[in-house]
Every structure is written in structure tokens, then in C-alpha cells.
Structure 1
Amino acid sequence: MEKKLKQSCDATKAASAITARTAELETELATLQHDSISDMRATEEMMAEAAKLRKLLPEMESKSSDMEEWVKEKLSLQEILKKSKGREKSLELFVARLKEEAGVAENVVRGLNQKVDTENSGVNENRVIVGMGIG
């Protein structure tokens, strides 16, 4: 009987250990289920966010392409502006030379006018009509 009692005691201990382990496993299972549900929600949220971003992608690509075109156009316009400024400087120098040449020409014309006036005054003293070529 002692043997049976010991076997019964051992069986009770084993059953208690199994019951305790079952409780631990059930707790662990509940935790894993909770974590799994949380992970699934997070995955769903991430998938929804990814879907939104995928919808925005063509618009962003288009804007990026537009910006690339604007940058190319800006660089082209900057190059044109640079050339234009170079031409402007050349034209300013040309205008300055023309003004200088015009000044020289005006001085020559003044000198010639003075000579004509001098000649005319000499002719007038001899009583020649200047404007009509009679004399």
C-alpha cells in the first residue's frame, strides 16, 4: 500500500507539475496571441500607409520630373543671360567708341564750319553774296 501511496503521491506531483506547466503555457499562449494581434494591426496600418504612398508616387515622380525640367531650363536661361551680359558689355564698348568717334567728327565739323565762316567773312568783306554764289 505504501507503494501505491507513493505512486499516487508521485502521480499527484506529476499532475500538479503538468497543471502548472499547462497554466504557464496558456499564459504564454495568451501573450503570444495578444502580440500576434498587435503585430497584425501594425502590419495592416503599415500596409495602408504603403498604399497611400504608392498612390502619391506617380504625382511625386511627375513633380520630380517637372523640377528636373525647370532646373534644366533655369541653367539654360542662366547661360543665355551670361551671353547676353557679354554682348551688352560689347555693345556698351561699341557705343562708347561711337560716341568718341562722333565727338571727333563733331570737332572736325566745327573746324570745317569755322573755316567756312572765315572764308565767308572774307568774301563778305569783298561784297560777294554768300548764299547765292554770285560774285
Structure 2
Amino acid sequence: MSAAEETMTEAAELKMLLSEMESKNSDMEEWVKQKLSLQEELKTSEEREKSLELFVAQLKEKAGVAKNVIRELNQKVDTVNGGVNGNGVIARDGKGVKGLNIQWPMVVVGSTVVVAAAVICVFYKKRR
């Protein structure tokens, strides 16, 4: 009986060791899965970073082009302003170009009168 008891005790110990090894293996598998998941996330974030860097570079390039267009338009305004003033003196402040003094209420009234006259002419010609 003692040999049978020893064998049963060893079998129980082996079962316990086996269950511990299975749990350790599952813990190890879980750790490996987490590690692989983190590596995938890192790869994805690196790809996003590269695409964002490319996007920022494109935006900087477009901003440079826009600055050049603005500079050219300001030069054209300066040319027109110099021709309007006749003296070629251009003054700038923080808001834009000084010297091109347009009286907007007069422009609105004048354009309204022109449109009204055109409408009256069209109606008058249709009645004849």
C-alpha cells in the first residue's frame, strides 16, 4: 500500500506541477500577446507620425506660396496706390496700405444709382 500511496502522492504532485505549468504558460502567452499588441500600436503611431510630418511639411510649403502671393499682391497695390496718389509715396500701417482713400458710402450710392438707371432703361424700352 505504501508504494501505491507514494505513486498517488507523486501523481497528485505532478498534477499540481502540471496545472502550475499550464497557468504559467497561459500567463506567458498572455504576456506575449500584450507585447505583440504594443508593438503593433507603436508601428501604427510611428506611421501616423510620419504622415503628420509630411502633412506639416506640405502646409509649410503652401504657406510659403501664400506669402509670396500676398507679397506680389501688396506690390501691385503699392503700384496702383502710387499711380493714384501721383507722388509715388506709399505709406503702410498695421492694417494695410494708406493712401487709397475710397469713400465707401459714395461708392455704394453711386453704384446703386447706376443700377437703378439701368433697370429703368430696361423697363422703359420694354414698354415702347
Q: TM-score, normalised by structure 1?
A: 0.51
The residue number in structure 2 matching 1:94 is: 55
- Structure 1 runs of 4+ aligned residues shifted over 4 Å read 46-53
2: CA distance between counterparts of 1:116 and 1:107? 14
Matched, 1:117 2:78: yes
Q: Deviations over 1:35-87 (max 9, x none)?
A: xxxxx8xx96x976765554344344223202202212211221232132123
The residue number in structure 1 matching 2:23 is: 62
Aligned positions, number: 93
Q: Deviations over 1:87-116 (max 9, x none)?
A: 321221221122112101111111111211
Kindly provide the amino acid, as one letter, of the partner of residue 132 in structure 1.
Q
Matched, 1:132 2:87: no
**Root-mean-square deviation over aligned CA pairs:** 3.3
Q: TM-score, normalised by structure 2?
A: 0.53
The residue number in structure 1 matching 2:34 is: 73
Larger RCO (alpha carbons 8 Å, 6+ apart): 2
The residue number in structure 1 matching 2:111 is: none
2: CA distance between counterparts of 1:111 and 1:47? 95
Instruction: Write 1 or 2 for the structure with the bigger share of helix.
Output: 1
Q: 1:119: Cα distance to partner?
A: 1.2
The residue number in structure 1 matching 2:69 is: 108
The percent identity for this pair of structures is 67
What's the secondary structure of 2:68's corresponding residue? helix
Look at both structures and tell me which one has the larger radius of gyration over its CA atoms.
1
List gaps (5 residues or longer) in structure 2.
88-98, 108-128
Q: Check 1:129–1:86 CA distance in 2 against 1; reply closer, same or farther (3 A cut).
A: closer
